[in-house]
A and B are shown apart, each in its own frame.
Chain A
């Protein structure tokens, strides 16, 4: 079955530091890959996505590249802000089950001023 594995947190960084959150997946076929973000007290929001190999998703300074050869979709941001403090979820959709998403366990990121 499908699965998503992401690095455990919490990840604590200083403002303007570089952020990487690792994500690897197992899936049949050719899944679409996603990063969702959950700010404190809120629901999840789609941050970025990639639908095929070598696609790069980007939004709000975050980037992730769909690497089929390594089955990875690592999230990166060059200079984080305090407002980036949140929980980040990697997810995949293989299309075989409609819009059903398989989520990773989430990585909490705390950015200190």
Chain B
């Protein structure tokens, strides 16, 4: 079975450019999460969706970050304009829902470097 699929795996861009990260959750999962991981701050939850609806975006750093989930099989995280401090590994995770509380399935991550 396919797991959570993220793209790109690596992205190097220059400050000011727009970055779009993509995620395909596991089929049938109704919760989707975006996390950011850095050495300094560890794992941070940015936003999560239930049934394609954003439930909690309190972790989104600022207006430069936006996330969408237009359907059950696709989500994007966009940074515009990007800054060097956005350099991190961004993880997408999905979950089957309330019957499996807290059981998240993570993708392999997108490593972003902003120069």
Q: CB within 8 Å of B: which residues of A? A: 32, 34, 36, 41-46, 49, 51, 89, 91-93, 95, 97-101, 103, 105-106
Partner of A91, one of B97, B102, B109: B102
A-B contact pairs, 15 of them (CB 8 A): A41-B108, A43-B106, A43-B109, A44-B104, A44-B106, A89-B43, A93-B101, A97-B55, A97-B56, A98-B101, A99-B97, A99-B100, A99-B101, A100-B45, A101-B45
Tell me whether A98 and B98 are in contact in the complex, defined as CB-CB below 8 angstroms, given that A89-B43, A105-B42, A106-B42 are known contacts: yes
Query: Are A45 and B106 neighbours in the complex by a CB distance under 8 Å?
Result: yes
Q: CB within 8 Å of A: which residues of B? A: 4, 31, 33, 42-43, 45, 48, 50, 55-56, 91, 93, 95, 97-98, 100-109
Query: Are B102 and A101 neighbours in the complex by a CB distance under 8 Å?
Result: yes
The B interface is mostly helix, strand or loop, or mixed, namely strand
Across-interface contacts of B42 in A (CB, < 8 A)? 103, 105-106
Across-interface contacts of A34 in B (CB, < 8 A)? 102-103
